A and B are shown apart, each in its own frame.
Chain A
Amino acid sequence: MEDRYELRFSGSGGQGMILAGIIMAEAASIFDTKIAAQSQSYGPESRGGASKAEVIISNEPIDYPKATAIDCMLALTQEACTKYHSDIKKGGILLVDSDEVKDVPQGDFKVYRFPITETARAALGKTIVANILALGMITGLTGIVTASAMEEAVLSRVPKAFQDMNRKALQIGFEKARELVARS
């Protein structure tokens, strides 16, 4: 039986959404035992504009590599959230950065709100790890990859000098996901 799981990471160009997608795909297909396909869509600009990356995770070879019925979506900006939320499936998950996304779409899906970018800045002094923090949260909220596979995937992608910071960002993400789930 096919077990297809669809994720979409969205935000503004330069926020590391494509890297988040790559890391999720590696966590699933290299460090876990599943199959993954990652694709992306972005405008001609290298910063700004709505940007998205998609990851399909399955237990069998993946045919269509794009998301059509999303199990879990991340939105770091209002523009991306408004533009890309319509494919979230019934019972799916939407995680938004609550400082950025004020107009939260309503639908048959579960919404989690959290100040992702601000938490990264306050805890680690860098907004650049917001994508890693979000990956930690998504891992916690969905359980689609194991925490250890996610950690290995993150560490294999970042230079040695930044491993501690990224490991911390990931841990904060895991914790915050637990808190959000406990609260809801």
Chain B
Amino acid sequence: MAARKAKKLMQGNESCFEGAIYAGCRFYAGYPITPSTEIAEGLSRRLPQIGGKFIQMEDEIASIAAVVGASLAGLKSMTATSGPGFSLKQEGLGYACMAEVPCVIVNVMRGGPSTGYPTGPSQSDVMQAKWGTHGDHPVVALTPAYVQEIFSETVRAFNIAEKYRTPVIILYDEIVGHMREPIIIPEPGELEVIDREKPTCPPEDYLPYDRRLEVPPLAAFGEGYRFHVTGLNHKDDGFPTNDSKTIEEGVKRLIRKIDNNRESIWKNDGYYLDDAEVVVFAYGSTARSARRSVRMAREKGIKAGLFRPLTIWPFPDKALKEAVKKARGVIVPEMNLGQIVLEVERNCPGMAVTGIHRVDGEPINPKQILDAIEKYR
């Protein structure tokens, strides 16, 4: 008899760091903050066991800088934080976008602004994930909702980061981060793990920002390829430039490398969408609440459905438009005062879009969403 794989009761944050290790993460730098601390705590124990490095830095700015440095030295790297820490990391995040450094940043959201409400759930950093750092830049953000899913989405985050040489944000709330569910850790090889492409040309021919390529290969420092890295607009060799054509082409390539590959980065989950007359668009723990509401609505004979994005940025406009084809309205519950609802409105012109918002540190419960659905009876 084949051995049954061990099922373990695991916390969302634990699932995250185990997923990171599975994906090949071997460097973590961070500054602990509730409700993300268990990720740092877990990796401080796990990374040294497998030859990885863990550093608790003096603050969040230094943490993201260390992560960028370690990634350029060839290690898959990550950091984790929450609201105020995510604010501090924005400059480094922009640098990683510009310098095209693969890395993963986990933001377990908490209430804000400022230090806000550390132990309560929130989804108020969704727009910050997209626009928190300045300048036109590509953003990939994933929004898992289940403990098992945090594991697989963390692996996917590293894969996207490595494949497209870009930072990837994992965005979830305190409920998902702190809750425990039984999960099964996949065997090695069961989930795809992608490593960055390295140059094969002679070092003197290497162009780390070659505009002719969608994603130029990335050499690791210390392996014989000498190159320059900067946050300034740069030429193909990495050195700063004032040439307007080079600047424009460089920025556009950054955007294009994600834009052209949206289909492979997007991931959604649907529940009763086929004939849905009212679609609930929800992510993270709010989507679990919404799933229950949809089920309750169906029991009452109301044709409700759930659209749940696992990739929130780039925004899943194409799939959403498809999902609302037969709908009379869209309901968007989120634990903020109205963020992703704006994006939904923009993509569902002429349709009634209703937001359900909550910022009191309590989750949006199924009854609240069901009340809004029942208006479509």
Contact = CB atoms under 8 A, between A and B. Distances in A.
Given A22-B9, A30-B9, A38-B9, A66 B181 contact: no
B9 A66 contact: no
A63 B369 CA distance: 14
B119 A64 contact: no
A29 B291 CA distance: 21
Contacts of A39: 175, 178-180
A14 interface: no
Contacts of B292: 63-64
B48 interface: no
A143 interface: no
Interface in B175-207: 175, 178-182
Interface stretch (B51-59, B246-254, B318-326, B360-368): B360-368
A177 B170 CA distance: 45
A42 B363 CA distance: 14
Contacts of B363: 66
A80 to B, nearest CB: 16
A18 to B, nearest CB: 9
A38 B179 contact: yes
B9 A26 contact: yes
A25 B289 contact: no
A44 B181 contact: no
Interface string B325-362: 00000000000000000000000000000000000000
**Which size bracket describes the interface of A in this complex?**
20 to 34
Nearest to A39: B179
B6 to A, nearest CB: 9
A63 B288 contact: yes
A7 B193 CA distance: 39
Nearest to B306: A63
A82 interface: no
A88 B289 CA distance: 19
Nearest to A64: B292
A142 interface: no
Interface string B281-324: 00001001101100100000000000000000000000000000
Nearest to A42: B119
Contacts of B182: 29-30, 35-36
B118 interface: yes
B370 to A, nearest CB: 11
A41 interface: yes
B8 interface: yes
Contact of B178 (A30, A40, A43, A44): A40
A66 B295 contact: no
A37 B119 CA distance: 19
Nearest to B34: A44
B2 to A, nearest CB: 19
B9 A25 contact: yes
A40 B35 CA distance: 12
B212 interface: no
Interface string B28-68: 00000010000000000000000000000000000000000
B7 A65 contact: no
A68 interface: yes
Nearest to B183: A29
A66 B365 contact: yes
Contacts of B9: 22, 25-26, 29-30, 36, 38
A22 B182 CA distance: 11
Interface in A38-55: 38-44
Contact of B288 (A36, A42, A44, A64): A64
23 contacts: A22-B180, A29-B7, A30-B9, A30-B182, A37-B179, A37-B180, A38-B9, A38-B179, A38-B181, A39-B179, A39-B180, A40-B178, A42-B119, A43-B119, A44-B118, A62-B181, A63-B288, A63-B366, A64-B365, A64-B366, A65-B288, A66-B365, A68-B365
Interface of A: 22, 25-26, 29-30, 35-44, 62-66, 68
Given A29-B182, A30-B9, A62-B181, 10 more contacts: A37-B179, A38-B180, A40-B178, A41-B119, A42-B119, A63-B288, A63-B292, A63-B366, A64-B291, A66-B365
